[in-house]
Structure 1
Amino acid sequence: MSQYQSLDAEVLRTFVAIAEQGGFTRAGEVVNRTQSAVSMQMKRLEEDILQRQLFEREGRQVRLTAEGEVLLGYARRILKLHGEVFNTLRMPHMVGVVRIGTPDDYAMRFLPGILTRFAQDYPLIHVEVHCDSSKHLMQRQDLDLTIVTREPGNEVGQLLRQERLVWAAAQGFCPQEQRPMPLALFNTDCFCRAWTCNALEQHGIEYRIAYTSPSLAALFAIVSAGLAVTAQLHSLIGGNLRMLDESDGLPQLHVANVMLLRNSQQQSPITDCMAGYIVEGFK
């Protein structure tokens, strides 16, 4: 018989929540417990079970000690295995394949978090991700779930979010000094490209399409090098890029809709489950 006390999964879940949220009160909201209940759990974990100090308290903020950092790694692994056991034994039907189609810009920005959470809960499901333009993805019949960008008035499927198209350039890039202004845009399949060009023409701004690519990563590499301006959805702008606006002499752009399409011919519990994770991940 083991001489060690057991580590309860709920206590470990609370511990991880504290580490991620930086405090007992916010962690309590995550695990649906009162602040006092969270404190009692951690007191028992520190004093009775492990006999190690796990937190250093600074007012309402807490940070992990060296021992706490060690436990955090183990706790996450234990909770992952805990979830796999229950999902495998309680839901053996959740085994199979789900095929997702998405433009690569959403694959870069949203899919990492969505797929991480899905894999933790359903480790036996094989996920296929197919990246292409919205136009091409909508023509495919072999995908279970498809994420596409649509113009207002042409929506199909379930609305995931609305995003304004914004201008972006490298730090220090001055669009007023570039005439004609060089643009880096998706290939002609993207309606956002037409929005961009029409807006510039309506405001009398000279431009030239200097770079095109179907890959967001390629466009961002070009823009980050200070070679051109791009127009992308607001949530995709990051890194060393800065957003431009009217103060930079550029017009405001339209709002696009991000939609989720479901293949009515390939409905399954796996597809429905993944759809729920995608909807949550785009909030």
Structure 2
Amino acid sequence: MQYISEIDHLPSYPSIDTEVLRTFVAIADQGGFTRAGEQVNRTQSAVSMQMKRLEEDILQRKLFARDGRQVKLTPEGQVLLGYARRILKLHSEVFNTLREPHMVGLVRIGTPDDYVMRFLPGILKRFSKAYPLIQIEMHCEASTILMQRQDLDLTVISRVQGDDIGELLRIERLAWAASACFCVEEHATLPLAVSGRDCFGTQWACAALDAQGREYRLAYHSSNGAAIQAVVGAGLAVTVSMESLISDELRVLGPAEGFPPLPSANLRLLRNPRTTSPITECLADYIIEGFKL
């Protein structure tokens, strides 16, 4: 008996090359044939020919409507755009899986909580797009604790300048910050909100205040950066943070308000030599690039 598969009963349709779909998505994103051509490295005429064949010969549907110099998608074009993005994503996953089978697995990253908010979202978004089958496990703790762990593949930590452990990612100046409603003069003993006694920022802040002879107390401490932000935002305490992490809702406090200068921190990347793999090395490259932005 001859076996007949379900595929044999499916109607036959013309195929759409992924390069044509890539050009189509570029036009939708760039709003024009010329800019799309620059993105996919094709001439404007070549892009036009591709889209003419897609509209007239393959789909037999109008996909574009011109609005002055801009090109907009028709309702049919909007439908195709959703499918095109999904097809290209699956196409990328197939090649990443079958051509690079080693790029499947788990990476354990250790980082202080505040770095996650500032740097990691963009890094992980780009990495996940390129390698969607790699699982990321995040561990957020203070640098001093992270340095003692042996189970992490990659670790981002803060160190004093001159400590050359690991690889330098960037240099960040620390600053005092408080809510606009926090009145420094009302507090004879300065309340601090910190990540913990083991945190480098806490140690540097206490040392600076001790050298100044200023009274203070560790009023709030949490390893959760969002919790510290909430306390400081409510006007309950002053905190120490990297300048790039201070939100618009807070104000920086300096010598004019009687606060001593703080040192800069080196943000460094540690690699676990016992777990080095193509996966960890690839993610390390993404982290290095992401901390430059």
TM-score bracket relative to the smaller structure:
0.7 to 0.9
The secondary structure found in structure 2 opposite 1:258 is strand
**Matches of 1:164 and 1:63, distance apart in 2:** 46
Q: Which structure is larger by alpha-carbon Rg, 1 or 2? A: 2
> Aligned residue for 2:62?
51
* Bigger shift: residues 171-180 or 86-95: 171-180
Question: Aligned pairs, how many?
Answer: 274
Q: Which moved more, 1:175-184 or 1:99-108?
A: 175-184
Aligned twin of 2:208: 199
- TM-score, normalised relative to structure 1: 0.80
AA partner of residue 220 (structure 2): Y
The answer for unaligned runs of 5 or more in structure 1 is none
Distance 1:72 1:216, change over 3 A: farther
* 1:92-146 alpha-carbon deviations (Å, 9 max, x no partner): 1212221111112112222222222222222222222122111111111121111
1:18 aligns with 2:27: no
Aligned CA RMSD, in angstroms, stands at 3.4
Structure 1 window deviating more from structure 2 (47-56 vs 149-158): it is 47-56
SS of residue paired to 1:123: coil
User: Which of 187, 196, 210 is the matching residue for 2:219?
Assistant: 210
CA contact (8 A) 2:174 2:262 kept: yes
Residue 265 of structure 1 aligns to a residue whose secondary structure is helix
Residue 277 (structure 2) aligns with: 268
Once the two structures are TM-superposed, the CA of residue 249 in structure 1 deviates from its matched residue by 3.5
> Equivalents in 2 of 1:266, 1:232: separation in Å?
32
Secondary structure at 1:227 match in 2: coil
Q: How many Å separate the matches in 1 of 2:280 and 2:82?
A: 31
* Cα deviation code 1:158-200 (max 9, x no counterpart): 1111111122222333334433222101211112112112223
- CA drift of 1:150 comes to 0.7
Does the 8 A contact of 1:45 with 1:51 survive in 2? Answer: no
What amino acid maps onto 2:255 in structure 1?
A: E
The answer for the alignment partner of 1:168 in structure 2 is 177
Deviations 1:219-252 (A, max 9, x none): 1111111111111112222253333333443233
Aligned to 1:178: 187
Deviation at 1:14, TM superposition (A): 2.8
User: Separation in 1 of the partners of 2:261 and 2:72?
Assistant: 45
Please say if residues 105 and 133 of structure 2, whose CA atoms lie closer than 8 Å, have aligned partners that are also in contact. Answer: yes
Contact residue 23 and residue 37 of structure 2 kept, 8 A: no
Partner of 1:125: 134
1:270, distance to aligned residue in structure 2 (A): 0.9
Cα distance between partner residues in 2 of 1:63 and 1:224 = 45
**Paired position in structure 2 for 1:104:** 113
List runs of 5+ in structure 2 lacking aligned partners.
1-11, 56-60
More deviation, 9-18/62-71: 62-71
Aligned counterparts of 2:89 and 2:168: Cα–Cα separation in 1? 31
- Structure 1 residue identity aligned to 2:205: T
> What TM-score, normalized by structure 2, do the two folds share?
0.78
Q: Secondary structure at the match of 1:253?
A: coil
Tell me what 2:7 maps to: none
Is residue 81 of structure 1 aligned with residue 90 of structure 2? Answer: yes
Other-structure match for 1:149: 158
CA contact under 8 A between 2:177 and 2:238: conserved in structure 1? yes
Amino acid in the other structure paired with 1:11: T
Name the amino acid aligned to 2:26. Answer: T
Please say if 1:2 is aligned against 2:13: yes
The counterpart of 1:257, out of the listed 257, 266, 270, is 266
Letter in 1 for 2:258: G
Q: Percent identity?
A: 50
Query: 1:114: which partner in 2?
Result: 123
| Cα distance in 2 between the residues matched to 1:146 and 1:122 | 20
